[in-house]
Structure 1
Amino acid sequence: MKSFAVYSLAALAEIGGCFAFWSWARLGKSVWWLAPGVVSLVLFAWLLTLVEAEAAGRAYAAYGGIYILASLGWLWAVEGMRPDRWDVIGACVCLAGAAIILLGPRAAAG
């Protein structure tokens, strides 16, 4: 459960940081939007180091499913566009994959 909470916070930090860049580059917002964006992206990277996984690549791969779900939440909550059924189905498939990656039984290293 701790990993899900960390992944959720990381997703919010990553999406917020990326949206700050998007706002500056695509929406004509002030260059000052980049400062909190950079801080948010640094927070995102640090949060991923807190995930209980024996390898960074596995932690990042599992995070992908949570990121997709959070992105669709952002789409709906911040951008005012409701995800359609294909978005929801795709997110469910990705979450199932993330769970398999993170929680699947592993052979003992040796």
Structure 2
Amino acid sequence: MFELKTIALFAVTAIAEIVGCYLPYLWLKHDKSMMLLIPAALSLALFAWLLTLHPDASGRIYAAYGGVYIFVALLWLWVVDGIKPTMWDVVGGSVALIGMAIIMFAPRTP
């Protein structure tokens, strides 16, 4: 159960980070409203707060989070941007998730 909760928290954290970066991108690159900066700032604040909820705020957690971030960013590419990931995107995202699982769930000695 811990594993599912951790992975879900990673995914929500990644979405908050991506939204916080994507909205300014829309404003700067696609002439969208400057008002998008308000929800972007709120999303990045949420992202920072969500990072504090992870089991340990350490390099190991952040390294594992990076693997989930990569996978979620590729899903964003497909769902939001409408660009189907290539086979290499899928392979790379899978490698990132495997890396996350190894980092997070490998047995440890106290």
- CA root-mean-square deviation: 1.1
Shift of 1:24: 1.2
Q: Structure 1: which 4+ aligned runs deviate by more than 2 Å?
A: none
Shift of 1:16: 0.7
CA deviation profile, 1:16-69 (whole Å, cap 9, x unmatched): 11101111111111211111001001111111211123x422111100111111
**Selected match of 2:65 from 63, 66, 83:** 63
Aligned ranges 1:64-103 → 2 under 5 Å: 64-103=66-105
- Matched residues in 2 for 1:31 and 1:59: separation? 34
Matched, 1:8 2:11: yes
- Matched residues in 2 for 1:69 and 1:96: separation? 11
Gaps of 5+ in 2: none
- Matched residues in 1 for 2:20 and 2:95: separation? 26
TM-score by length of 2: 0.91
Shift of 1:106: 2.4
Gaps of 5+ in 1: none
TM-score by length of 1: 0.91
Q: Which amino acid aligns with 2:26?
A: S
Residue pair 1:14, 1:44 contacting (<8 A) in 2 also: yes
